Amino acid sequence: MNWVDLERRVYQATKSAFSSLKNTCPDEEFYVFALYTDSGAMSICPSANSLSGLQDKINQEDEEDRSAEVVQYYKWASSEWAYEARGSEEFQDICKSLRESEERSDFENFQSQVFLIMTNALLSLKNEGFFTSFKTQQFPVLFVTITDDDRAEEVENKSAKILNGEPVLDKFLSRYDDV
């Protein structure tokens, strides 16, 4: 697999998906953007959430079920976000390439490469100022994650350390400390 080309394609798909989100939701305050894959590294999808999306999700819970733990889960679990997989059609060819790659035979290295290109795509967008064009109170949190996998928090923290500055990073790394 040509990893340089795949990274370019992931960058382009990510930019397109999040640009579309910005254009359809210009007044929402986004606090987080992520790319995620599955434990088999057969897909890459975008995910994002806004403060109003988070509040809508919390409001769906019965009042007695709105614990600090539930709120933090909804805030940081990409599968619960208002814009989870929004723009995933941009990634269809990428997912096909991942599924069909002969390099999957060395799965540990293959998966590490997938994490790296996802992180690099977000980092390139950050470095070109892409996320500053969104309505936000502070710079949004950026990270990479893996669905339904015990290593999700480890993957998230590792990528967040690369993608975020100190104040944002510190807040993110302590996201579950009080629950």
Each residue of 127-160: pLDDT tens digit?
Answer: 999 999 998 878 999 999 999 899 999 999 999 9
Kindly report the three-state secondary structure assignment for every residue of the chain. CCHHHHHHHHHHHHHHHHHHHHHHCCCCCEEEEEEEECCCCCCCEEEEEEHHHHHHHHHCCCHHHCCHHHHHHHHHCHHHCCCCCCCHHHHHHHHHHHHHCHHHHCHHHHHHHHHHHHHHHHHHHHHCCHHHHCCCCCCCEEEEEECCCCCHHHHHHHHHHHHCCHHHHHHHHCCCCCC
Give 65's pLDDT tier (boundaries 50, 70, 90).
confident
Q: What is the pLDDT of residue 155?
A: 98
Residues 23-52 have a mean pLDDT of 97
What rounded mean pLDDT belongs to the chain?
Answer: 96
Residue 179 has pLDDT above 70, yes or no: no
Residue 165 has pLDDT above 90, yes or no: yes
In the chain, domain spans:
3-173
Residue 119 has pLDDT above 90, yes or no: yes
